[in-house]
Amino acid sequence: MTEEKACRCPCHRMIGVLVALFGLNFLLKALGVYGDNVSNIVWPVLLMLGGIKHTFKGMCKCCSDKGAGGCCSEGKP
């Protein structure tokens, strides 16, 4: 049994968090927790954050050090 180290870099979890917040935004709107005005501001902001994260994904130090012992290069040829 091989023990694999999971990357603990927060940049790898950001997209999942943004998707969850995106869904939560629409759920809270549907439940009447807040109105259309708030929702119409929240979802574009979350979408922009995802785009910014995607734009700067090459700046992740653990991913950019391929073969240099970065956490994302472990276990990969």
Q: Is the pLDDT of residue 16 over 80?
A: yes
Tell me how many domains the chain contains. Answer: 1
Q: Which domain holds residue 32?
A: 10-64
**52 lies in a domain?**
yes
**33 lies in a domain?**
yes
Mean pLDDT of the chain: 78
> With 0-12 CB in 10 A as exposed, 13-18 as middle and 19+ as buried, what is 54?
exposed
The Cα 12–Cα 72 span in angstroms is: 10
Using one digit for the tens of pLDDT, what is the confidence trace for 19-43? Answer: 899 999 999 999 999 988 999 999 9
**71 lies in a domain?**
no
**72 lies in a domain?**
no
Q: Is the pLDDT of residue 3 over 70?
A: no
pLDDT of 66 reads 56
**5 lies in a domain?**
no
